[in-house]
């Protein structure tokens, strides 16, 4: 050791101990960081908390007054055909079109699709899928069972306070 130190330059005698001390402290800090991160992950993480973090609608976000107030603009360009359109007709004048990438759904049925569009845009889909005040169609065929599997590239159209005649007229005009 004495031989080692006597061969060192003056600069090395000043700086080398500092570097070694710093490295030792760094090792302690890095080890502590590693262990703390591992411990926090093992105690805090759960699939439910992960889902809640991603999918809970913020209390601060303005709720939609009806399904036509907001919409998903643009198309999911990377969906490779795995998408569906949700079109809501809130009255004779107002409608909203949203296109949903179906890969976000765990259960690819009509209910899940409408609920996801409702969650994203901030409205409740309860009255659409349950109470009958809305009538929904997939490519002009009425949906009676919302648990049916949704077809790819579907046009799911939901009408509020429309008579069957008015819906037929609308489809005829659009065709």
Partner 1 sequence: MPKTTKTIVSIGTAVLISILGFYLRYKNHTLVPLPGESTDEYSYSWVGLSLIELGLPVSRSGLTGYGGNDYRYINVDRIFSTTAGGSPLEINQPWLDHPPLLSLITGGYAYLSGARVFEDATARVIRKPLLLFGVTTIILVGVLTYQLVGAAAALLAMALLATSPLVTVTSRMIQGENGVIAAFLASLIFLSSYLTKKKKIFLWLAALAAGVGLLFKVSGIAVAVCGAIILFSQENKKMALKFWETALFLTISLSFLALFFVYGAAFDWSTFVIVWQSNSTRPYDIGFGSLLDLLTTTKITVSKRLTEGWPLVGWISVFLLLAVEKRRKLFSFVVLPVLVYLIIFLLMGGSAYGWYRLPFIPFLFIAVAVILTEGVSSAEKLLPVVLTLIPLGMTVHKLSEAHRLAAIIPFWRYGLPAVIGWFLFVKRIRLNRFLYVALILAALAANVWLNLSLTPEFYLKIN
**Residues lying near partner 1 in the complex (CB under 8 A):** 9-12, 14-16, 18-19, 22-23, 26, 29-30, 33-34, 37-38, 40-45, 49-50, 52-61, 70-79, 99-101, 103-104, 116, 119-122
Instruction: CB nearer to partner 1: give 125 or 162.
Output: 125
Cβ closest to partner 1, residue 64 vs residue 170: 64
**Residue among 61 and 149 whose Cβ is closer to partner 1:** 61
Distance CA 57, CA 51 (A): 11
CA torsion 10-12-13-16 (nearest 10°) is 160
Of 63 and 168, nearer to partner 1 (C-beta) is 63
Residue 31 Cβ, how far from partner 1 at the closest point, in Å? 8
CB 116 to partner 1: min, Å: 7
Nearer to partner 1, 13 or 168 (CB): 13
Q: Residues 99, 85: contact at Cβ < 8 Å?
A: yes
Work out how close the CB of 168 gets to partner 1 at its nearest, in angstroms, rounded to a whole number.
30
The answer to whether 55 touches 119, Cβ cutoff 8 Å, is yes
CB atoms within 10 A of CB 86: 28
Question: DSSP state, 149?
Answer: B
CB of 110 to partner 1, least distance (A): 17
- Give residues with Cβ within 8 angstroms of 62, minimum separation 6: 122
79 CA to centre of own chain? 14
């Amino acid at each position: 050791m004495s031989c080692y130190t006597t061969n060192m330059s003056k600069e090395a005698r000043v700086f080398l101990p500092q570097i070694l001390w710093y490295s030792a402290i760094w090792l302690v800090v890095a080890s502590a960081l590693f262990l703390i991160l591992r411990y926090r992950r093992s105690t805090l993480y759960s699939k439910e908390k992960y889902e809640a973090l991603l999918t809970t609608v913020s209390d601060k976000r303005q709720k939609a007054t009806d399904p036509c107030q907001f919409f998903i603009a643009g198309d999911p360009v990377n969906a490779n055909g795995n998408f569906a359109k949700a079109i809501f007709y809130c009255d004779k004048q107002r409608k909203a079109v949203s296109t949903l990438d179906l890969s976000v759904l765990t259960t690819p049925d009509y209910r899940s699709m409408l609920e996801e569009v409702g969650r994203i845009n901030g409205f409740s889909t309860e009255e659409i899928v349950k109470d009958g005040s809305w009538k929904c169609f997939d490519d002009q065929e009425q949906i009676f069972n919302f648990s049916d599997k949704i077809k790819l590239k579907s046009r799911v159209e939901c009408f509020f306070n429309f008579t069957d005649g008015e819906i037929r007229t609308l489809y005829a005009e659009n065709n």
